[in-house]
Amino acid sequence: MSVTAVQISERRQKVKTTVSDESIKMRKFISMTMTMLKIGFIGFGGGSALIPVIEDEVVEKDKIVSEEEFNDDVMIASITPGALPVEVATGIGRQASGLKGMAAAATAMALPGALLTVLLQAVISSAGSVVKSQINYLSIGISAFIILTLLAYSLGTVCQAVNKREGQLYGLIILGVFLLSGEKSIYQLFGLDIKPIFALSTIQVLGAAFFVILFTKGHVRCLRRSIPAAIITVCYLLCAGNAHIIPVSAKPFILAVMAVLSILGLVQSIVESPHKKAFPAKRLATSAGFWLLFVVILSIPAMFLTAKALKFIGMGWLSSIMSFGGGDAYLSVAQGLFVEGGVINNADFYGNVVAVANALPGSILCKILTGIAYDVGYNLNGSVIEGFLVALSGFACSVAASGAIFELVFCVYEKYESLQIFSVVKHFIRPIISGLLLTVAVSLYTSGIRGQVQTGSGHPALVITLIVIAVNLVLMWLQRRGKNIHLIWKIVISAGISFAGCNLFL
């Protein structure tokens, strides 16, 4: 065989390999996008509640990212403002398929909830509350399924410990975080009229945890720093808690001390670190440019329809940046900016947008911002089409702001990930999140399930929830015995049980 023939053969083989690699990448991209879309459709319970569902799909089943990569995404999303599911999807998409993966994953995660919000707003205006009540019935079963998933995730955290001692430590952290954050929900669950001592928010729990880690520079066994950190943290908890054992007037001072000491510990860690990476400025600039273009393109219809579009877009970005602490916290931010700012009246905000958003899957931030934008567009001329077109700008703001903030913080994390503080954070973030998820599980029942049924003692809600959980436990047992039961079937069965039960017995 001549040299030319050999070269031709090698080139053909290289082309085949390239085509094969591209085909694999495309299949991975499509699979990831469809997975995010599916999770977006079943995402009842808000941001944190979706962490176990996302992990099961992208780590355990599809193996799109590793468990370590997923935990990094969850850690960054948990400490940044914005829509948590969208932020986690942004990280997964970036690691799986680069810039296009980031865009597709974030959009697919947010789209179902946002789209259903504006569709239901349009339908309710003509069909009344009947449609919403039926959606509530479906959501009860799905919420019960999510509760079981959250419990399984927390149990799995303890089981993942490398030894018995670490498992006990994880268990104590989970229990401690649950009691600090879920005290109010626990009292509601048992019908107790007791004022909680703590009842801390997610951001308060995470803030206290990160203060200890930052101030001790990740060396939590160093008594010289850990003892003062523990004393200051206890003072903060007693001040920030519901009972205000330490007067609330001391809170600004305590927070200032915590902030200064945290920054001091972080700076010292950076200076002492022998490993320093270059800051990925080009990647950050590319991402920022993309998200800006994303907002501009989707907001073009709104800009043609109303002169107030630019103001609304700015308020949308600002509200996303201010949205620390989950969905409930975003409602207060949205009220301050949009209701008190005259963008939407109080009756439409709570009676229409919030009521609809609470009945649907997906991020509260994305649904609320999209729903407000729809209301703005609809009220221009009473046109559903104009409502949908302006809603695009709200959707774009919610996704782009979350994605951009996540990328910024992740780039900073990548530069300094070798620091001891990040090693400790990665080690303990899962048990901390697990404790918070137990609070979400209890809240899902007390507010999401029992609150929607509205029947005195709430026994029908409890019976339906227990039936759904029992059926899913059987399905989990069958899976362990080798049966392949897809997530969609679990969701359909759970929703079907609650839909039939509510319509027959309520």
DSSP letter string, 111-160? HHHHHHHHHHHHHHHHHTTHHHHHHHHHHHHHHHHHHHHHHHHHHHHHHT
Beta strands in 152-293 (DSSP E): none
- Token pair belonging to 271: 């200076």
Domain-located, residue 243: yes
Residue 54 lies in a domain: no
Buried b (16+ CB within 10 A) or exposed e, 8-29: eeeeeeeeeeeeeeeeeeeebb
Work out whether the CA dihedral 150, 335, 236, 257 comes out positive or negative: positive
CA dihedral of residues 329, 239, 174, 56 (deg, nearest 10): 20
Domain presence at residue 187 = yes
Instruction: Give the pLDDT confidence score for residue 455 in this predicted structure.
Output: 47
Percent of the chain with pLDDT over 70: 89
What's the full length of the chain, in residues? 506
Helix (H) or strand (E) holding 325: none
Specify whether the backbone of 138 is left (phi greater than 0), alpha (psi in -120 to 50) or beta: alpha
Assess if residue 96 is contained within a domain: no
Give how many domains the chain has, as a whole number.
Answer: 1
CA atoms within 13 A on the CB side of 159: 6
Whole-prediction pTM: 0.77
Q: Is residue 193 part of a domain?
A: yes
Work out whether the CA dihedral 92, 433, 335, 371 comes out positive or negative: positive
Give CA–CA dist 60/412, Å, rounded. 28
CA distance 408 to 224: 33
Alpha carbons within 13 A on the beta-carbon side of 391: 27
Q: What token pair was written down for 403?
A: 């994605």
Alpha helices, DSSP H only, in 43-83?
Answer: 51-55, 67-78
Angle between helices 309-321 and 364-381 (to 10 degrees): 160
The predicted-structure confidence for 293-311, as pLDDT tens digits, reads as follows 999 999 999 999 988 888 8
Whether 506 is in a domain gets the answer: no
Position 71 in a domain: no
The parent domain of residue 209 ranges over 164-278
**Per-residue pLDDT tens digits of the chain, which is 506 residues long:** 455 665 566 665 655 555 566 777 788 888 889 989 988 887 776 667 788 888 888 888 888 888 889 989 998 988 888 888 999 999 999 988 888 999 999 999 999 999 999 998 888 766 556 666 777 787 788 888 888 888 988 998 999 888 889 999 999 999 999 999 889 889 988 888 888 998 888 778 888 999 999 999 888 888 899 999 999 999 999 999 888 899 999 999 999 999 999 999 988 888 887 766 777 888 889 999 999 999 999 999 999 998 888 889 999 898 888 776 556 667 767 877 888 788 888 778 877 787 778 778 888 899 999 999 999 999 898 888 999 999 999 999 999 999 999 999 898 888 887 788 888 888 888 899 889 889 888 887 887 677 665 544 446 778 888 899 999 999 989 988 888 887 778 888 988 898 888 888 76
pLDDT in tens, 331-364: 767 877 888 788 888 778 877 787 778 778 888 8
- On whether residue 192 sits in a domain, the answer given is yes
3-class state of residue 194 by DSSP: coil
Q: What confidence score (pLDDT) does residue 325 get?
A: 56
Q: Which helix (H) or strand (E) holds 480?
A: helix 459-480
Residue 213's pLDDT is 92
Residue whose entry in the numeric block shows the structure tokens 């950076």: 270
